[in-house]
Chain A
Amino acid sequence: MVSMKKKIIVNTIVGLLFIGVVAWISVALNSTAKQSNQTTIQTDEWQRIKQDKQITIGLDDTFVPMGFRDKNGKIIGFDVDLANAVFKTMGIQVKWQPIDWSMKETELNTGNIDAIWNGYTKTAARAKKVAFSNSYHKATQVLVTLKKNNINRFSDMQGKVLGDQTASSGDESFNKYPNILKKYVKDQKVIGYDTFDKAFNDLNAGRIDGLLIDEDYARYYVAHQANPQNYTVTVGGFSVDETAVGFRKSDKQLRQAVNETLAKFKEDGRMSLIEDKWFSN
């Protein structure tokens, strides 16, 4: 048995240590809270990127046809080709880092990645957290339905069940402009999927009647279905989405360099070469 005296001493030491750790954590939390909203990196990282000749770009590697993996596990896609080509002109190698899409802005602002380049649509909500490049691609949100259900206008979705991808730009527009589609669908609610292939399965199974999806993906998925002619793609009143690259707000030089190269690519036709490779049917 341990003596009473020893018990008191050890209990006091452990207690004080615990209080110390708690105090240290709360101080650390406080100081991070003071740094403007959850941004830890506030410096321009361009020098580091140029010196290391390497940039880390985050992507969701299930995002066809923008950035995904081929059967050998190699990361390919429209955005992958474009980003590799853009940084090649600067002598910088791209390190592609797969991320969870719902965590993309956190990954960027904690410095785990230097850019989000993966069919990333410009929206007002995202503009508060990241700085966008000039847009390099345009697409709108379309409604995919089964042909046999005869849905040809957004208003035909009256009382029907709609699906989309959680935290996608389509999801944001859907809620922001309720008059376009939201007022028609059943219970004014949308079923959110983590990836579009699951939503397509549910569309085929008849558990949802329509799928709100970016037109690039819509074309890809419809083309890869067993019977592409069974689907109707309806373009409705959603505005055109502009796809851009997301940077940290502090990385002004990096953003400028990418903007200049993108403009050059548009001029000399390198952009349309890459577009043709991935978007022509």
Chain B
Amino acid sequence: MNYLLEILPSLLSGLKMTLGVFFFTIIGSVPLGIIVSLGMKSEYFTIRWLINGYIWVMRGTPLLLQLIFVYYGLGMMGVTFPRFEAAIFAFIINYAAYLAEIFRGGLQSVPRGQYEAAKVLGFTRTQTFFKIILPQVIKIIVPSFGNEVINLVKDTSLVYVIGLGDILRAGNIAASRDVTLIPYLLVGLIYLLMTAIVTVLLRRTEKRLNIWR
């Protein structure tokens, strides 16, 4: 018990990094994902091709590789990001690709007839999207969106490769210093706590949205 209290401060400072990556990624990737998913339905084939190519690359290569490329690869080409910004950038463009596919699924599940009905009723295209389509889409995608968010909680541990000290690295340090597995146990518990909070928040959102289902 004493030992846990001793290593807790260093783990909590690692937790700050984990949470930082998590929140910045969510804030950045949700709007980008929406834009990308709308772009996939563009009437211009060049835009569709570009976006499909982007999603193919982002989902087709490991996030770890993308992190290495954004930080070291771009650094060699003269585009130098600081460590944290590089991690956020890589996470945002990666998660936006996954989220865009989820949003696309949501958009497609709204029947065409609703667009036509809205047109007949005199709604503009912007009004149709924000007042009629988006509220339904949000309800539909909450469960799969939650999946990605929980994945993100754990994926943040990949930032070790560009030298950022997240909670798992803090656990690694304590484990190799004190030659024990207990820090990993504590790190696991903290991850569980984080995903529990995320799960509860998502359930609540889902319940609230279900009022007008």
Chain A positions near chain B (C-beta within 8 angstroms)? 1-2, 7, 10-11, 14-15, 18, 25, 28-29, 32, 38, 40, 58, 61-64, 68-73, 97-100, 103, 106-107, 110-112, 195-197, 200-201, 221, 224-225
> Is there an interface contact between B162 and A100, defined as CB atoms closer than 8 Å?
yes
> Is there an interface contact between A14 and B44, defined as CB atoms closer than 8 Å?
yes
Q: How far is the CB of B190 from chain A (nearest CB, A)?
A: 16
Q: Which of A38, A100, A106, A197 contacts B160 (CB 8 A)?
A: A100
> Is there an interface contact between B178 and A72, defined as CB atoms closer than 8 Å?
no
> Is there an interface contact between B163 and A100, defined as CB atoms closer than 8 Å?
yes
Q: How far is the CA of A7 from the CA of B78 in the complex (A)?
A: 36
Given contacts A15-B46, A73-B10, A197-B175, contact A110 B163 (CB under 8 A): no
Chain B residues contacting A70 (CB-CB under 8 Å) are 177
> Is there an interface contact between B43 and A61, defined as CB atoms closer than 8 Å?
no
Q: Is B13 an interface residue (CB 8 A)?
A: yes
Chain B positions near chain A (C-beta within 8 angstroms)? 6-7, 9-10, 13, 43-47, 50, 68, 72, 75-78, 80, 83, 160-165, 169-170, 172-179, 181
Given contacts A40-B76, A103-B72, A221-B179, contact A68 B173 (CB under 8 A): yes
Q: How far is the CB of B73 from chain A (nearest CB, A)?
A: 10
Q: Which of A38, A71, A224 contacts B179 (CB 8 A)?
A: A224
Q: 8 pairs across A/B with beta carbons < 8 Å?
A: A7-B43, A11-B46, A62-B177, A98-B165, A100-B161, A106-B72, A195-B175, A196-B176
Q: How far is the CB of A134 from chain B (nearest CB, A)?
A: 27
Q: How far is the CB of B207 from chain A (nearest CB, A)?
A: 40
Count the A-B residue pairs with Cβ separation under 8 angstroms: how many?
Answer: 98
> Is there an interface contact between A195 and B172, defined as CB atoms closer than 8 Å?
yes
- Which among B50, B68, B163, B178 has the greatest number of chain A C-beta atoms within 10 A? B163
Chain A residues contacting B50 (CB-CB under 8 Å) are 14, 18
Q: Which of B7, B9, B173 contacts A62 (CB 8 A)?
A: B173
Q: How far is the CA of A61 from the CA of B160 in the complex (A)?
A: 11
Q: How far is the CB of A28 from chain B (nearest CB, A)?
A: 5
Q: How far is the CB of B34 from chain A (nearest CB, A)?
A: 20
The 3 A-B residue pairs whose C-beta atoms are closest, nearest first, are A14-B46, A99-B163, A197-B176
> Is there an interface contact between B77 and A29, defined as CB atoms closer than 8 Å?
yes
Q: Which of B10, B43, B80, B172 contacts A71 (CB 8 A)?
A: B10
> Is there an interface contact between A28 and B43, defined as CB atoms closer than 8 Å?
no
Residue of A nearest to B163 (CB): A99
Chain B residues contacting A62 (CB-CB under 8 Å) are 169, 172-173, 176-177
